Amino acid sequence: MTKTETISVADIIGGDLCISSEDGQKVFDKIVPILQTGKHVVISFEQISMLISLFLNAAIGQLYGKFTEDQIRSKLEVTGLAGDDMEILRRVVENAKRYYANRTEYDKAWLATEGDYEE
């Protein structure tokens, strides 16, 4: 039976503000080895009063560079997020899926762009 491990973001970062990429990295570094063992991970955002996309990019978005969508969908869960924070997470995940699926494609159309006026 797959075991479940719950990690508390507030405990990992030592506070209630998820506003730096460094703190997001700490959460990511905690999640990865657990997922690699095949366990189910519950990321608890209880006691968190503010979070921004920069943090979520580092904590969760990066996972899409290390694991498949199927792996993440089947093994990862979040709890303790309010409606507006879940919406931010949804945008972060959407962005991450797109980024890791098309890492170089986005920039090709712009590479030839030059200014048409002097600066």
Partner 1 sequence: MQKKIGTIKTDNNGFNAIAALAEGAYDFSFETLELDFCECSFFDANMAAPLYAVLTKYNLCEIKTTNLRNKIEKIFQKNGFLCELGFPRLPDTNQTTLPFRSFSLDSIQEFNIYLSEYMRERGIPSMTEGLRRAFLRSLLEIFQNAVEHSFSDYDIYVCGQFFPNLHRLDFTIADAGMGIRENVRRHLNNKMNSIPAIKWVLEEGHSTKKDKLGGLGLKLIKSFVMLNKGKVQIVSRYGFYEFSCSGETFSKLDHDFPGTCVNIEINTNDPYGYALQSELKSSDIF
Q: What is the binding site for partner 1 (CB under 8 A)?
A: 17, 19-21, 50-54, 57-58, 61-62, 64-65, 69, 72-73, 76-78, 82-84, 86-93, 95-96, 98-100, 102, 106-107, 110-117, 119
Contact between residue 86 and residue 56 where contact means Cβ atoms under 8 Å apart: no
Cβ proximity to partner 1: between 19 and 29 the closer is 19
Q: Which is nearer to partner 1, 30 or 92 (CB)?
A: 92
**Residue with tokens 């990429």, as numbered in its chain:** 21
Distance CA 1, CA 88 (A): 32
**Shortest approach of partner 1 to residue 20 CB, angstroms?**
6
Phi-psi region of 40 (alpha: psi -120 to 50; beta: other; left: phi over 0): beta
